[in-house]
Amino acid sequence: MFGSLKALPADPILGLLAKYREDANPQKIDLGVGVYKNEAGHTAVLDCVKKAEKYRLDNEDTKVYIGPTGSPLFNDEMAKLIFGNHKVLQDNRTRTVSTPGGTGALRVAAEFIKSCKPGATIWVSNPTWANHTGLFQAAGLTVKTYPYYDYENKSLDFDGMLAALKQVSADDAVLLHACCHNPSGMDLNQEQWQQVADVAKSVGFLPVVDMAYQGFGDGLDEDAYGLRLMANSVEEMIVCSSCSKNFGLYRDRIGATTIIGKSSAAVDIAYSVLLYVIRVIYSMPPAHGAALVETILSSDELRHEWYNELSEMRDRINGNRRLIVDKLKENGVTRNFDFITEQKGMFSFLGITPEQVQQLQDEYAIYMVGSSRMSIAGIANSNVDYLAQSIAKVL
Ligand code: PMP
């Protein structure tokens, strides 16, 4: 059976990380992997998570099966985080399930869409997170792209995006990044969200919103602004959330899929299908991460602490954006990199050639993916001078 297989290339980002780890240069910088790092370059467990883990250790008294939906308290808290006090919650038009990370949330959404319409097409932004295409195709969906990032002008190709979305069929799904677009850092503004919502309503496609970075852009509510606006306009929608970044729970694998239906009765039918989809893939989601998140969100004290820790992560990322742009100027770089300060979240494209990316790696031990996507959290006060000088030399 295995003899017919051809080896697949390793994931380029993981390959890059392995190379970085082997590099003996003491000045090496990792701008590849998309995880938050503090000033010391460490991805630490949040203090609020440590406290929630202590609480669970003292209070958890069973590991019995929990069911395909996961923990109802986690699901309720996640729905509130996503929608605030939006009418869709008051109208009981949403159902949320816990999933193994944001990836699991997307795969469950994809399988659910397949149950609605086998072979359906989903449109993703060009570019998009590298795993979107593979996971949607693996679920049997057809993947097509709409224009998004204008590499030349380092801006959003909004006209191209809107024109493409107007051509989408009512039977299709469209994937939108809620905030902190991966890989470009280029987000829609409020007016643009309204225009996309108007098109979604008039065309009738299903919006699938991927929110992997809530709180990393402008704030918890600010980052959900677009999807809440979308929920005002459309009758059906899916939101896929991840707690990997904003709770720092990467390896605990916790996220959520939320479906919005036309009515409470209609969404109940969809929900029964969603539960079946889960049952036949992994039966039930992991519970530990959900237990931590619900413990944090349902405690005033821990929630407050989380809010502060999340704000600190966001402020550091935004500060790093300013820092690198200022340092490039200080080092005599005349090319305009101001766009980096206007973009949001973990990533921006530096906008240099693949050869220059390779030169940064070979000569300066600075690691970023070939597209020149930089993970902004890898910048620190201790390495930014060396980084800016190296970029200046390569330019
Ligand atoms: N969506 C996007 C846009 C992402 O960037 C990521 C993680 N890099 C995910 C989903 C998946 O997140 P998780 O690690 O929780 O599976």
Convert the pLDDT of each residue in 31-74 to its tens digit.
998 999 999 999 999 999 999 999 999 999 999 999 999 999 99
- pLDDT at 295 > cutoff 90: yes
Q: Is the CB of 128 under 6 A from ligand 1?
A: no
Q: How far is the CA of 1 from the centre of ligand 1 (A)?
A: 32
Question: Quick one: which H or E segment has residue 103?
Answer: helix 101-116
Q: What is the CATH number of domain 11-45+315-394?
A: 3.90.1150.10
Question: Which of 131, 132, 216, 227 gets mutated to test ligand 1 (max ligand atoms within 8 A of its CB)?
Answer: 131
Q: Is the CB of 129 under 6 A from ligand 1?
A: yes
Specify whether the CB–CB gap between 216 and 377 falls below 8 A.
no
Q: How far is the CA of 207 from the centre of ligand 1 (A)?
A: 18
Which token pair is 41?
């370059």
Specify whether the CB–CB gap between 135 and 110 falls below 8 A.
yes
- Is the pLDDT higher at 314 or at 33? 314
- pLDDT at 11 > cutoff 90: no
- pLDDT at 385 > cutoff 90: yes
- Give pLDDT tens digits for 155-190: 999 999 999 999 999 999 999 999 999 999 999 999
- Give pLDDT tens digits for 241-286: 999 999 999 999 999 999 999 999 999 999 999 999 999 999 999 9
Percentages of the chain per state (helix, strand, coil), in multiples of 5: 50, 15, 35
Specify the domain boundaries for CATH 3.40.640.10 within the chain.
65-298
3 state DSSP class of 80:
helix
Q: What number does the ligand 1 atom closest to the CA of 250 have?
A: 14
Q: What number does the ligand 1 atom closest to the CA of 255 have?
A: 15
3 state DSSP class of 49:
helix
Which residue numbers are catalytic?
A: 129, 210, 245
Q: Is the CB of 182 under 6 A from ligand 1?
A: yes
Residue 209: its pLDDT value, please?
A: 99
Torsion of CA 366, 367, 370, 375, to 10 degrees: -110
Q: Is the CB of 212 under 6 A from ligand 1?
A: yes
Question: Which of 35, 43, 103 gets mutated to test ligand 1 (max ligand atoms within 8 A of its CB)?
Answer: 103
Q: What is the distance, to the nearest Å, from the Cα of residue 9 to the centroid of all Cα atoms in its chain?
A: 24
Question: Strands, E, within 21-84: which ranges?
Answer: 29-30
Q: Is the CB of 69 under 6 A from ligand 1?
A: no
Q: What is the CATH number of domain 65-298?
A: 3.40.640.10
Residue 258: its pLDDT value, please?
A: 98
Residue 288: its pLDDT value, please?
A: 97
- pLDDT at 12 > cutoff 90: no
The reply to whether omega before 183 is within 30° of 0 (cis) is: yes
Q: Whose CA is nearest to atom 9 of ligand 1?
A: 102
Residue 14: its pLDDT value, please?
A: 84
Q: How far is the CA of 103 from the centre of ligand 1 (A)?
A: 6
Share of the chain above pLDDT 70, in %: 100
Which token pair is 333?
């770089």
Q: Is the CB of 71 under 6 A from ligand 1?
A: no
Please report, for residues 94, 132, 260, 290, the alpha-carbon distance to residue 145 in angstroms, rounded to integers and kept in the order given: 28, 11, 24, 33
Q: Is the CB of 101 under 6 A from ligand 1?
A: yes
Per-residue pLDDT band for 9 (boundaries 50, 70, 90) equals: confident
Q: Whose CA is nearest to atom 7 of ligand 1?
A: 212
Question: Which of 106, 211, 242 gets mutated to test ligand 1 (max ligand atoms within 8 A of its CB)?
Answer: 242
Cα separation, 98 vs 369, in Å, equals 31
Specify the domain boundaries for CATH 3.90.1150.10 within the chain.
11-45+315-394
Cα separation, 82 vs 318, in Å, equals 22
3 state DSSP class of 245:
coil
Q: Is the CB of 34 under 6 A from ligand 1?
A: yes
Average pLDDT, the chain: 97
Q: What are phi and psi of 287, to 5 degrees?
A: -100, -20
Please report, for residues 45, 56, 65, 291, 293, the alpha-carbon distance to residue 59 in angstroms, rounded to integers and kept in the order given: 20, 5, 17, 11, 15
Per-residue pLDDT band for 13 (boundaries 50, 70, 90) equals: confident
The identity of residue 393, as a single letter, is: K
Cα separation, 227 vs 238, in Å, equals 10
Per-residue pLDDT band for 128 (boundaries 50, 70, 90) equals: very high
Question: Which of 17, 36, 125, 129 gets mutated to test ligand 1 (max ligand atoms within 8 A of its CB)?
Answer: 129
Helices (H) and strands (E) in the chain, counts: 16, 13
Q: Is the CB of 357 under 6 A from ligand 1?
A: no
